[in-house]
Amino acid sequence: MHRLIATLVVLMPLFVLAQTLETNRCAVKLAVTLTGRSPSTALLGNTNPQSQVDALLTDAAFIERFSRFVNARFNDEPGATSVEDSTYHLSKHVLTNRLPWSDLFLGSFRVDTVNNAVAVVPDSNGLGYLRSRAWLQRYAGNEEQGIKLSTAYRMLNNITGVTLTAAVVVPGLDVSAQGRRNAACSGCHFDSWFALDKLASVLTKRVGTGDTMRFEAPTAGPQQLLDGQTIADDKGLVTALVNSTEFEFNACRIAFGFVYGRKELACEGPLFDRCVDAFRAQRTMQSAIAALTKDPSFCR
């Protein structure tokens, strides 16, 4: 009996040490993932680090880190000027104020330069960052008739996550509106549910280039888009995309990419579903990230 008691006395400190190491590892993983920094002493000392996820999601370091992540995901390269990275600036505003993620695309804001500094400006005619002039100029494209195919694609990609690869332009390839109806191009431009030419037809048209660029009202009239929805303008298009299940799935794919640095795996379907359920209920990006980082699997 004495030997058994002595053995238990030895094993108990080892068990406590193992638990401490496990909680410390979890604290480090949470802090580095969400804020890019080492954990605080308080987080290291917490016996349940995942209980602090909500607090970490209010940290300025998280907001900065995630806004940069979104900006890199939504743009192929950094903007030539800070105001061109409107996704970064409005993401910070949305996260700081715990606004619905849909406000990034539909909110009454614009990103502009005010007193030589980039600012998020309330605008009753705003459409998230999508009517900000610097963003419109950046993605106006060079289509010869001013059809904003690039703008349409960016809206589609940023909101729903659809990714397309542009055809390689070779000598003799007809890239006009008529040429895009050829078999090699029509699939993406006219025939699919996301037909780019049809989406672009309800957007304003680009006139001119550079600083003199301006945008004129669309002339095509309401169109049957996105599997039969009648859409007349950019706000109608963005609203339809945001109201789709693809928007909810993409929000969780963004969250998954941020937390794990990769796409979700097939075996992680239940976890991904929990993320979608949380996002659907609360509509904030923090809710999606919290669903992933509060899950027991995160610290295993």
Predicted pLDDT at 258: 98
**Same domain, yes or no, for 32 and 112?**
no
Predicted pLDDT at 15: 42
- What span, in angstroms and rounded, lies between the C-alpha atoms of 122 and 124? 7
φ, ψ of residue 231 in degrees (nearest 5): -130, 135
Q: What is the dihedral of CA 133, 138, 141, 142, to 10 degrees?
A: 100
Report the share of the chain in percent with pLDDT over 70: 90
3 state DSSP class of 90: helix
3 state DSSP class of 1: coil
The residues, ordered by sequence, that sit 6+ positions from 13 with a Cβ below 8 Å of its Cβ are none
Burial degree of 147 (CB within 10 A; 0-12, 13-18, 19+): buried
**Residue 42 contacts residue 27 (beta carbons within 8 Å):** no
pLDDT level of residue 5 (50, 70, 90 thresholds): low
Predicted pLDDT at 187: 86
Predicted pLDDT at 205: 96
Report the predicted TM-score, pTM, of the whole model to 2 decimal places.
0.90
Of 209, 227, 243, which closes a domain? Answer: 243
**Same domain, yes or no, for 72 and 162?**
no
Q: What is the pLDDT of residues 236-248, one digit of tens each?
A: 999 999 999 999 9
**Same domain, yes or no, for 201 and 148?**
yes
pLDDT level of residue 13 (50, 70, 90 thresholds): low
Closest CA relative to residue 156, chosen from 54, 72, 247? 247
**Same domain, yes or no, for 212 and 295?**
no
Domain count, the chain: 4
Q: Stretch 213-223: mean pLDDT, rounded? A: 94
Predicted pLDDT at 153: 96
3 pLDDT above the threshold of 80: no
pLDDT level of residue 8 (50, 70, 90 thresholds): very low
**Same domain, yes or no, for 108 and 194?**
no
- What span, in angstroms and rounded, lies between the C-alpha atoms of 272 and 288? 9
134 pLDDT above the threshold of 70: yes
**Same domain, yes or no, for 177 and 106?**
no
pLDDT level of residue 22 (50, 70, 90 thresholds): confident
Predicted pLDDT at 172: 62
**Same domain, yes or no, for 237 and 161?**
yes
Of 103, 138, 173, which closes a domain? Answer: 138
**Residue 132 contacts residue 110 (beta carbons within 8 Å):** yes
Rg (CA), the chain: 24
Predicted pLDDT at 166: 74
**Residue 92 contacts residue 63 (beta carbons within 8 Å):** yes
Q: Stretch 112-118: mean pLDDT, rounded? A: 96
253 pLDDT above the threshold of 80: yes
**Same domain, yes or no, for 204 and 255?**
no
The residues, ordered by sequence, that sit 6+ positions from 229 with a Cβ below 8 Å of its Cβ are 240
117: left (phi over 0), alpha (psi -120 to 50) or beta: beta
Residue with tokens 């550079």: 210
Q: What is the mean pLDDT of the chain?
A: 91
- What span, in angstroms and rounded, lies between the C-alpha atoms of 212 and 5? 85
Residue with tokens 């780019």: 196
**Same domain, yes or no, for 28 and 70?**
no
φ, ψ of residue 36 in degrees (nearest 5): 75, 10
- What span, in angstroms and rounded, lies between the C-alpha atoms of 145 and 218? 12
pLDDT level of residue 17 (50, 70, 90 thresholds): very low
Residue with tokens 């715990």: 98
Predicted pLDDT at 1: 54
**Same domain, yes or no, for 119 and 201?**
no
Tokens of 268: 């992680």
Predicted pLDDT at 254: 98
Of 108, 138, 168, which closes a domain? Answer: 138
Domain hosting 205: range is 143-243
